[in-house]
Amino acid sequence: MNPLLSRRHFLKASTLATASLPFAAKSLFAAEPKRQIGFALCGLGSLSTHQIAPALQQTKYCKLAGIITGTPDKAKRWQAQYNIPDRSVYSYDTMAKLADNPDIDVVYVVTPNGLHARDTIAAAKAGKHVLCEKPMEVSPEKCQQMIDACKAAGKQLAIGYRLHFEPNNLECVRLAREKVFGELRYIEAGFGFAIGDPAQWRLKKELSGGGPMMDVGIYALQAMRYISGEEPVSVSAIANTLDTVKFRDIEESLVWQMNFPSGVLASGNTTYRFNGINRYTANAERGWFGLDSAYGYGGIHGRRSDGETIQLPGMDQFAAEMDDFAQCILENRPTRVPGEEGLRDMKIITAIYESARTGKVVALG
Amino acid sequence: MNPLLSRRHFLKASTLATASLPFAAKSLFAAEPKRQIGFALCGLGSLSTHQIAPALQQTKYCKLAGIITGTPDKAKRWQAQYNIPDRSVYSYDTMAKLADNPDIDVVYVVTPNGLHARDTIAAAKAGKHVLCEKPMEVSPEKCQQMIDACKAAGKQLAIGYRLHFEPNNLECVRLAREKVFGELRYIEAGFGFAIGDPAQWRLKKELSGGGPMMDVGIYALQAMRYISGEEPVSVSAIANTLDTVKFRDIEESLVWQMNFPSGVLASGNTTYRFNGINRYTANAERGWFGLDSAYGYGGIHGRRSDGETIQLPGMDQFAAEMDDFAQCILENRPTRVPGEEGLRDMKIITAIYESARTGKVVALG
């Protein structure tokens, strides 16, 4: 097991996370940072436009320094809006030239899943650190190539697991680690939504690698792992597709179960069929706790069996994630969400798909 | 599909249920009933001792008139406590003699699952109506034999689905039928507990027919059916057993999914591994509603996405169930929980076990 994923680590990480939150950072670091880390956004779709670029404006340690896009029109709009010079605008084919641009320290890869290795490896070869959106790629092999490329370049690789920085999720991790309700027994987690536009890349397996399990089920899988603080030893899964026209070669819905070494059982479900599932509940010896909604960009809150609510102040998770990565780079310390964390999820998701295909329980190493 | 299970029926049933509640009955039926229906309890285990016999004391239309037991010591204790004459005490071998006892109208079968057909058929042959605990039996074939025997005898057969009489569950049925939150999309339901004594019959497949799916998962399955108002068209399931000593030939935990004709998806889980899962949530177009806890003898309550709580006054569900059956007999009208309802569940559970064994989706007729 990756030691970064141990119970001990996450407990430590929770503390770090508090220190890295923007509002906490203000008091802890009275002085302005010596320099801001330059981010180039690679892929200017909806997430970059509506979440990441605005979040960059709220960071303390980061600045938007460049863009990488295949669409010249988008480049022009972004240059105008964010005052980006011509020399910091790239296409996917010209990423090697990033090597000559000292303004850019990090490439944030926000392209479709199946292009993450291509773009991460190109960025690493150009000597840049990489922050890559989840899911990391479409296969464990691709994830390993990304890890190897960044290691060879001596650069950091982080995966965009923003909830590792989200206070309500961290509070649930605390309730689990401190055994506030006793030993954990069971975790139930689900995330799904009604997918729209049938032409989008999420529905094309070669770009997405799979259906809702890859896209949003991964959040429920993550919750099972960070709440239990363990790695699953076996998984079983059922895929379920009614609309075989829209969902040609990916699952429409999927339910899975995992066993953890301590005996904790976890049940998950994910779907592209309907809205409204965005939650997890952890059952322990003497009670339960959980979030609903659990995974959004905001509005996260939850309940405990003793009647208390879980509703810590929200923050911009993307800003927190980028500021943390920038600090890791500035202070030369490892990120808490490294490529190995993404690889681990990809191995589990691959096992989940194998179980759904074969109808057998799949053991995990 | 059994027409009794249609949306229209259950809506009607909800109204009937309200009328059949003890507190409502008092105003609707000012006069005392002409006569009380005599119940013989068949099987004097924990459920009979702690729930059904006390409930009989609260009924309006029923009385405890006899007992059937294989344990002479139990018979003596019950006779003393409930003033039961020697002529109304039977063993499983002497049930044919029930035919000569006019004090007994109904045999309430509370033996282990795998003995329900034996006892139901014996009671029917002796000319008695039968109320049989859930699950109805251990196979659809056995269920059909029970239905046939009661039909041949011209007697009613009801299954002990007490939640069909429970106000909070009926309120959720109303929310679904009246589409208060729009069309249903998804139902999530689970029920489990940590099983104790390793010597009990529930752990012996020949008596139980299966693990927690048969015993408590059936409540979650029932919820999916009465909330959706539909019959599933396909099921898929995963069984999961860690303790293979205690759970030799039955599942320890199981998760399943079902598709309904309207497109509603349902995910269920059940376990003998831990306590704390006793709930369902129905997600609809514009919100959700559900119960937690959902299936107990008391303390049932729930929530709605609009912030309202669901917390109708509880009542003795066993008393309501028996009073309803007594009224059905007195008024010569069909029960809302007939043998066909139990057979339907048994067919679905059989398909669930088949899916868990084969890893394939199983279609239902």
pLDDT digits (tens, 9 = 90+) for B66-90: 999 999 999 999 999 999 999 999 9
Residue of higher predicted confidence among A264 and A25 = A264
Do residues A28 and A251 lie in contact, with contact meaning Cβ atoms separated by under 8 Å? no
Report the pLDDT value the prediction gives residue B35, as an integer from 0 to 100. 87
pLDDT band at B31; cut points 50, 70, 90: low
pLDDT of residue A323 exceeding 50, the answer is yes
Q: Give me the residue spans of the domains in chain B.
A: 33-162+321-327, 167-314+343-363
**Which of A267, A277, A361 lies closest to B283 in CB terms?**
A277
Contact A188 B269 (CB under 8 A): yes
Say whether pLDDT at A334 is over 90. yes
The average confidence (pLDDT) of chain B is 92
* Long-range residue pairs from B21-27, CB within 8 A, at least 24 positions apart, any chain: B21/B165, B21/B167, B21/B315, B21/B320, B22/B58, B22/B59, B22/B60, B22/B315, B22/B316, B22/B319, B22/B320, B22/B323, B23/B313, B23/B315, B25/B60, B25/B323
- pLDDT of the residue at A359: 86
Q: What percent of chain A has pLDDT over 90?
A: 88
Q: Is the pLDDT of residue A365 over 90?
A: no
Contact between B263 and A253 using a beta-carbon 8 Å cutoff: no
How far apart are the C-alpha atoms of B168 and B163, rounded to whole Å? 9
Check CB contact under 8 Å for B274 and A265: yes
- Which residues, including other chains, have CB under 8 Å from residue A39's CB and lie 6 or more apart? A56, A62, A63, A64, A65, A66, A104, A105, A106, A107, A108, A131, A322
Q: B81 vs chain A: nearest CA distance in angstroms?
A: 37
Contact of A255 with chain B, judged by CB distance below 8 Å, is answered with yes
Across chain A, mean pLDDT equals: 92
Q: What percent of chain A has pLDDT over 70?
A: 91
pLDDT at A119 over 50: yes
Mutate to test the interface with A, among B186, B251, B305, B355 (most CBs of A within 10 A): B186
In this model, does residue A149 exceed pLDDT 90? yes
Residue A31: the pLDDT is 58
The CATH number that domain B33-162+321-327 falls under is: 3.40.50.720
Q: Fold for domain B167-314+343-363?
A: Dihydrodipicolinate Reductase; domain 2 (3.30.360)
Tell me the longest C-alpha to C-alpha distance in chain B. Answer: 60
Catalytic residue among B61, B90, B134, B280: B134
pLDDT for A9 equals 42
Catalytic pick among B61, B90, B161, B219? B219
For the ranges A51-60, A62-71, B26-35, the lowest mean pLDDT is seen at: B26-35
Could A238 and B236 be called an inter-chain contact, meaning their C-beta atoms sit closer than 8 Å? yes
Residue (of A140, A131, A170) closest to A326 by Cα position: A131
Torsion (CA) B178, B180, B186, B191 in degrees, nearest 10: -80
Nearest CA in chain B to A190: B188
Query: Is residue B92 flagged as an active site residue?
Result: no
**A280 labelled catalytic:** no
**What is the pLDDT at residue A147?**
98
Distance of alpha carbon A355 from alpha carbon B113, whole angstroms: 32
What are the angstrom distances between the C-alpha of A218 and each of A164, A192, A221, A306, B54? 13, 10, 5, 29, 50
Q: Which residue of A has its CA nearest to B286?
A: A276
A33-162+321-328: CATH, from 3.65.10.10, 3.30.565.10, 3.40.50.2300, 3.40.50.720: 3.40.50.720
Do B33-162+321-327 and B167-314+343-363 come out as alike in CATH topology?
Answer: no
Residue B19 has what pLDDT?
34
pLDDT tens column, B135-144 = 999 999 999 9
Residue B32 has a pLDDT of 64
The ipTM, to two decimals, is: 0.82
| 8 Å CB contact of B273 and A360 | no
pLDDT in tens, B142-155: 999 999 999 999 99
Q: Is the model's pLDDT at A261 over the cut of 80?
A: yes
In chain B, what residues touch A292 (CB-CB under 8 Å)? none
Work out the average pLDDT over B168-177: 98
pLDDT at A336: 97
Per the CB < 8 A criterion, the answer to whether A160 and A133 are in contact is: yes
Q: How far is B284 from chain A, CA to nearest CA, in Å?
A: 8
Cβ contact B188–A186 (<8 Å): no
Phi then psi for residue A206, to 5 deg, are: -65, -25
Residues 159-198 in B contacting A (C-alpha not used; CB under 8 Å): 185-186, 188, 190
Nearest to B274 among A185, A190, A276 (CB): A185
Higher per-residue pLDDT: B11 or B255: B255
Phi, psi (rounded to 5 degrees) for B278: -160, 70
Q: Is A259 on the interface with B (CB under 8 A)?
A: yes
According to the CATH classification, is domain A167-314+344-363 in 3.40.50.300? no
Q: How confident is the model at residue A22 (pLDDT cuts 50, 70, 90)?
A: very low
Residue A62 has pLDDT above 70, yes or no: yes
Residue A255: its chain B contacts at CB < 8 A? 238, 255, 257, 267
Interchain contact B335–A (C-beta under 8 A): no
pLDDT of A8 above 70: no
Q: Which residues of B304-342 are buried (b: 16+ CB within 10 A; e: fewer)?
A: bbeeeebeeeebbbbbbbbbbbbbbbeeeeebbbbbbbb
| Chain A residue nearest residue B181, CA to CA | A276
Residue B107 CB contacts under 8 Å (≥ 6 apart), including other chains: B39, B40, B42, B68, B95, B98, B119, B120, B123, B126, B128, B129, B130, B131
Considering A61, A219, A280, A353, which one is annotated as catalytic?
A219
How far apart, in Å, are the Cα atoms of A57 and each of A62, A319, B53, B330? 8, 8, 70, 76
Question: Residue A210: pLDDT above 90?
Answer: yes
Band (pLDDT 50/70/90 cuts) for residue A32 is: low
Residue of A242, A276, A358 lying closest to B259 (CB–CB): A242
B132-148 as b/e, with b when 16 or more CB fall inside 10 Å?
bbbbbbbbbebbbbbbe
B interface mutation test: which of A185, A230, A293, A360 has the most B CBs within 10 A? A185
Inter-chain residue contact A288 with B275, CB threshold 8 Å:
no
Q: B304-357: per-residue pLDDT in tens?
A: 999 999 999 999 999 999 999 999 999 999 999 999 999 999 999 999 999 999
A183, A188, A238: best to mutate for the B interface, most B CBs within 10 A: A238
